[in-house]
Every structure is written in C-alpha cells, then in structure tokens.
Amino acid sequence: MRCTRIEAMWRVVMSEEVGKKLQAVVDRVNQAVSRRPKTLPCIAPRLVAVSKTKPPEMVVEAYKHGQRNFGENYVNELVEKASHPQVVLSCPEIKWHFIGHLQKNNVNKLLGVPNLYMIETIDSVKLAEKVNSSWQKMRAANTQRLKIMIQINTSGEESKHGLPPDETVNMVKHAVSQCSALDFAGLMTIGRYGYDLSEGPNPDFQIEVGSTNIRVGSTIFGTREYPNTPSPSPEKKPKVVCEEAARKMDRLTVTEH
C-alpha cells in the first residue's frame, strides 16, 4: 500500500514538472517567433521533445499536456518505447521522429515502429534508397509517404554526420525524383558545440531567423542519466567543460529547413 501511494505521488509530481517545463519551452518558442523579421512567416516551429534515456511514463505525461512530436536517437530504444503498452494505449496520435545516425542494417527495424512520422537524418543516397525501398515493401498497403529530412554537416566537424553542403542540391534532387515513397520535408543541421550559451549567441536566434523544426530534450524532461558513465578525472577538466557546453546546447538543439 505504501509503495502504491509513493508511486502515485511520484506520478503527480512528475506530471506537474513535465507540464510546467513543457509550457515554459512553448512560451519561449512563441516569444522567439514573435521577434522574427516581417519578411518571415510568424508561425511557430514544430517542437520535437527528445525523450532519449527517459522512461515511457514521461512520454505519456508530456503527451497528456499536449505534446505530440517526440524524438529518439537510438533505434532499439525507439522500438522499445514506441511499443510500450502504456504509450500505445495512452498516445494514439503520437508522432515519432528518428533523430540519430541511421545505419542501413537497422532500417527495417526502424520502419516497423508504430506511428513513425519522420526520419531527420538521411545523409546519403544509399541510405535514402534503402529507406525508400524498405518503406515500399513494408507499408505496401499504406500509400502515405514517409517524411524525411536530409542532414547537412554545415560545421564541417568530423564528429558529426551529414552531407557536405556542396552535395545538398544533388541529394535533394535524387530524393525528390528517385525516392517516390519518401516525402522530402527539408534540411536538418546542427551548429557547432564547444561554447557556453550563457556567453555565446542567444539560443533563440535560430528560431528568430526562421527555423521550422526544433528539438528540446533536457529542458523538458530533466538531465539525462547515462548508465555506466565513469567519473571524470581531474586532468580531464577541459573535456568536462566542453561536455557541459554540449549538454547546454542539447537543451535547445535546432534543425532548419
């Protein structure tokens, strides 16, 4: 009985926290949109709540508060979370976005995810063709095309996936003309990490200049906890600083198209 009461109290607190944080993000996005130049449409971008490492219960709570688009980085985690009975039962209109690096051998597993809405990380002709052919085979009775974004590595960092900018036009042309099962939704790019947002550019700037799809994770769901992460040693302090900046940036990662 006591455990049941504690669990019930935890759910209430979690629901309130997720709801408050989600609303705060929505308000911040709307404020940024209102500052756009008159030459840009005053339309709020799609908000993708990044729920990686978070339990299905948190997804359900965000859904109850009106959130519909959710993003996951890892295929296995997305498959497990999207198929969770509580999510399936409570979130019939959920839209899953895959936002991590996709290997061709995981395509079929990913495409089996219920309510898969978009793959935001197509970064090669071969991957686009694999997703296109697999979607045609797996969803033969479903004529709806799968939305995709093409990932561009605008920062030129080797640690990031994505096409070089000069290959963008040909890649888009190929996706549009040769991949009939795919619906090209735009371009996705992530800026360079490595600086403290409190001292660097305003993170709302990307919204103000017209981004139409944004990802927000920790700001909604809280700090992520990764299992088996070793404690950093004192001599690795510069790396810790860089990782802290990355975590701050990850709270408002922006995609553009």
Give every CB contact of residue 243 below 8 A, 6+ residues apart in sequence. none
Q: What percent of the chain has pLDDT over 70?
A: 74
Is 60 exceeded by the pLDDT of residue 198? no
Is 80 exceeded by the pLDDT of residue 197? no
List Cα–Cα distances, 8 to 13, 25, 126, 238, in angstroms: 9, 26, 48, 42
pLDDT tens, 74-114? Answer: 999 999 999 999 999 999 999 999 999 999 999 999 999 99
Taking a C-beta distance cutoff of 8 angstroms, is the pair 102, 135 a contact?
Answer: no
Q: Which residue has the tokens 């408002």?
A: 252
| Calpha distance 188→118 (Å, rounded) | 12
Is 70 exceeded by the pLDDT of residue 236? no
Beta strands in the chain (DSSP E): 46-50, 69-72, 95-98, 116-122, 146-151, 182-188, 213-216, 253-255
219 vs 226, more confident: 219
Is 70 exceeded by the pLDDT of residue 234? no
Q: Which stretches of 55-159 are DSSP H helices?
A: 56-64, 75-82, 85-90, 107-111, 125-138
pLDDT tens, 38-70? Answer: 888 788 889 999 999 899 999 999 999 999 999
What local confidence, expressed as pLDDT, does residue 78 receive?
Answer: 97
| Calpha distance 249→191 (Å, rounded) | 9
Residue 10's H or E segment, with its range, is helix 2-34
Half-sphere exposure of 255 (CA within 13 A, CB side): 29
What local confidence, expressed as pLDDT, does residue 38 receive?
Answer: 83
Q: For the whole model, what pTM was predicted?
A: 0.78
What local confidence, expressed as pLDDT, does residue 174 receive?
Answer: 96
